[in-house]
């Protein structure tokens, strides 16, 4: 079993798509280990996305992620990281495959409905950032 981290982003929560996204995740064989709705502060968003601090989109990303409630979660299944990325779809929903979360629920590359860890090291940091103690498994 592998664990990964995901966020249903503020655009998807605002649009009322949280339940549909969670349903897809569960139907894809994930077990939800932890789940919490929260409204990130600007400082929390900056800390979470610190690896992008030098990139031109960093400020807009942090503003967006702190613009409204989001749902953070820890998910578990075999090959969780790769499988979640598959069902999420490409970052740009215009390039996402049919039937993926981003193709069906994202509005743009910026407002793209969902975040998922991209590697085991990233998952460990991201899980620990919001759910301390769960990153060790």
DSSP bridge partners of 116: 6
Q: ∠ CA(27), CA(36), CA(82), 5° rounding?
A: 45
Options 39, 50, 83, 115, the catalytic residue:
115
Specify whether 115 is catalytic: yes
Helix (H) or strand (E) holding 24: helix 18-27
- Chain-centre distance for alpha carbon 93: 14
Q: Are 119 and 133 in contact (CB under 8 A)?
A: no
Instruction: Tell me the two tokens of residue 127.
Output: 């899980």
Q: Which residues pair with residue 5 across a beta bridge?
A: 74
Distance CA 51, CA 23 (A): 30
Catalytic residues, by residue number, are 115
């Amino acid at each position: 079993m592998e664990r990964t981290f995901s966020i249903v982003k503020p655009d998807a929560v605002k649009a009322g798509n949280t339940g549909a996204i969670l349903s897809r995740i569960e139907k894809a064989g994930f077990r939800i280990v932890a789940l919490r709705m929260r409204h990130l502060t600007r400082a929390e968003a900056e800390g979470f996305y610190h690896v992008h601090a030098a990139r031109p989109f960093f400020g807009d990303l942090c503003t967006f992620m702190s613009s409204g409630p989001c749902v953070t979660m820890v998910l578990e299944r075999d090959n969780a990281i790769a499988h979640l990325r598959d069902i999420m779809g490409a970052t740009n929903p215009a390039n996402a495959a049919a039937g993926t979360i981003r193709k069906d629920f994202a509005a743009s590359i910026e407002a793209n409905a969902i975040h998922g860890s991209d590697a085991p090291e990233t998952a460990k940091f991201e899980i620990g950032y919001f759910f301390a103690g769960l990153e060790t498994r």
